[in-house]
């Protein structure tokens, strides 16, 4: 009986310790696979940027590289949306976190480049500027995942 009571108490402590773990924006969180850059109000969900860039690629290759990434042992990586990319810029890069280049990064958000062609939104991590460009030029890729 004492052994059973001890195991119950131990499991209670472990569950309580896990429930009290706080996650902060800007934190490099290995259990989540990278840098936390967005958290829901309840603190249970959010977005994580991979620890490193995947390289420079055209947009179609960038999308494939992000989807195929297994960074941190996770397999649910993807390109960030235009808005998520801006959160990475604001919440990580501007605070000196994440090791981003002061270069252009791809998003997954399509946009109109001119009246006849679609492109994809980019963000410059030097000055924060965003605009849509054609998909063929190579730019940096940083994958993200939700938790």
40: domain range?
23-146
Q: Is residue 130 part of a domain?
A: yes
Tokens of 39: 């958290």
CB 119 within 8 A of CB 110: yes
Q: Is residue 13 part of a domain?
A: no
Residue 127 has a CB neighbour count (10 Å cut-off) of 8
Q: Residue 67's domain is classified under what CATH number?
A: 3.10.100
Residue 77: the pLDDT is 98
Residue 113: the pLDDT is 86
Distance CA(82)–CA(132), nearest Å, equals: 10
Q: Is residue 101 part of a domain?
A: yes
Q: Is residue 30 part of a domain?
A: yes
Tokens of 61: 């290759």
Give the closest residue to 80 by CA, choosing from 104, 107, 58, 98. Answer: 107
Q: Is residue 44 part of a domain?
A: yes
Q: Is residue 4 part of a domain?
A: no
CB 35 within 8 A of CB 28: yes
Q: Is residue 12 part of a domain?
A: no
Radius of gyration of the chain (CA): 19
Q: Cite the beta strand spans of 55-147 per DSSP E.
A: 55-57, 104-114, 117-124, 130-133, 139-141, 144-146
Q: Average pLDDT of 31-49?
A: 96
Give the closest residue to 54 by CA, choosing from 36, 40, 72, 32. Answer: 72
Residue 20: the pLDDT is 55
Stated pTM of the model = 0.83
Q: What is the pLDDT of residues 42-94, one digit of tens each?
A: 989 999 999 999 999 999 999 999 999 999 999 999 999 999 999 999 999 99
Give the number of domains in the chain: 1
Q: What is the pLDDT of residues 85-135, one digit of tens each?
A: 999 999 999 999 999 999 999 999 999 888 778 899 999 999 999 999 999
Tokens of 124: 């410059």
């Amino acid at each position: 009986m004492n052994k059973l009571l001890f195991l119950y108490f131990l499991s209670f402590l472990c569950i309580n310790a896990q429930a009290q773990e706080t996650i902060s924006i800007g934190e490099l969180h290995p259990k989540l696979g990278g840098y936390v850059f967005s958290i829901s109000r309840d603190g249970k969900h959010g977005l994580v940027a991979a620890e490193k860039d995947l390289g420079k690629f055209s947009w179609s290759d960038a999308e494939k590289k992000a989807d195929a990434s297994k960074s941190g042992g996770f397999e649910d990586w993807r390109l960030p949306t235009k808005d998520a990319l801006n959160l990475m810029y604001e919440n990580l890069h501007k605070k000196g976190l994440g090791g981003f280049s002061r270069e252009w990064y791809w998003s997954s958000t399509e946009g109109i480049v001119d009246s006849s062609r679609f492109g994809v939104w980019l963000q410059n991590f030097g000055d924060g500027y965003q605009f849509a460009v054609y998909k063929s030029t190579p730019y940096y890729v940083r994958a993200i995942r939700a938790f």
